[in-house]
Amino acid sequence: MAPKPLRCVLLGLAVAAALSWGDAQAKQWTRIRIASEGAYPPFNMLNADNQLEGFDVDVARAVCAAAKVTCEFVAQDWEGLIPALLAGKFDVVFASMSITDERRKVVAFSERYYASPALFVADKTSGLMDSSPRALTGRTLGAKSGTVNARYLEEVYAPAGAHVKLYATQEEANLDLSAGRLEAVLADKLVMLPWLKNAGDGDCCQVIGQDLADPAYFGEGVGAALRKQDADLKALIDGAIAQIRADGTYERINARYFPFSIY
């Protein structure tokens, strides 16, 4: 549980956010279509029944319960999330999408619901320990396409002489790393640390260098993406996020996946 002063602050934020719910509810947001990728464990993945689950999905379900709306979940590949959102195929994206100025040009974001730095994971046989652009000159580096990590590699490491390969999913990048086809991968710390610990998955590899969290590239945390014209829906979701943070629901979800706070 959060310390008492923090809980009081969060409760105050929840009350304040709730005051803005009236306008959102006035447009009758009783049913919301939510998309996630389904290929980014432990944040979103598909279970044996081909249903979405994971941290993003659990937070989204809690938001729906707090807002007292019915939610329908759909899986959408990463590259298609923003185009399909703008096309009206669904209303909100809960898919570990970083809040960046570049994305804000086309979509709106809720308040953040978690934050995580990026880091490099390297093949143990590569001899790499330093993750600076100079140290990775001539090396083959991987990242998930369309992410802040991909942009960082292309704009910071490629000009310094690194070879950058991009992948449709994080799993594909990790498989190439473990197979020795990449020398290092840049990805979300909260995704790579569990991968390294899972039986056999990360035996090949190790973290190198320091955490990366430059706001110019990695944004202000992770939020739900919405269409800009749906300000009423943003108010509804922001209010619900504040409520689950205040009443302990968020902490319980966090504890299912991580032994420390990721907010």
Q: Which pLDDT belongs to residue 19? A: 47
Percentage with pLDDT > 70 across the chain: 89
Distance in angstroms (rounded) separating the CA atoms of residues 4 and 1: 9
Whole-prediction pTM = 0.84
Q: Which pLDDT belongs to residue 129? A: 95
Distance in angstroms (rounded) separating the CA atoms of residues 153 and 166: 10
pLDDT value at 57 more than 70: yes
Q: Which pLDDT belongs to residue 198? A: 84
- pLDDT tens digits for range 164-186: 999 999 999 999 999 999 999 99
pLDDT value at 26 more than 60: no
Number of H helices, E strands in the chain: 11, 13
Q: Which pLDDT belongs to residue 29? A: 94
Amino acid at 52: L
pLDDT value at 17 more than 70: no
Distance in angstroms (rounded) separating the CA atoms of residues 75 and 49: 13
Mean pLDDT of 214-218: 92
pLDDT band at 24 (very low <50, low <70, confident <90, very high): very low
Per DSSP, the three-state class of 128 is: coil
pLDDT value at 9 more than 50: no
Q: Which pLDDT belongs to residue 27? A: 61
Distance in angstroms (rounded) separating the CA atoms of residues 121 and 184: 5
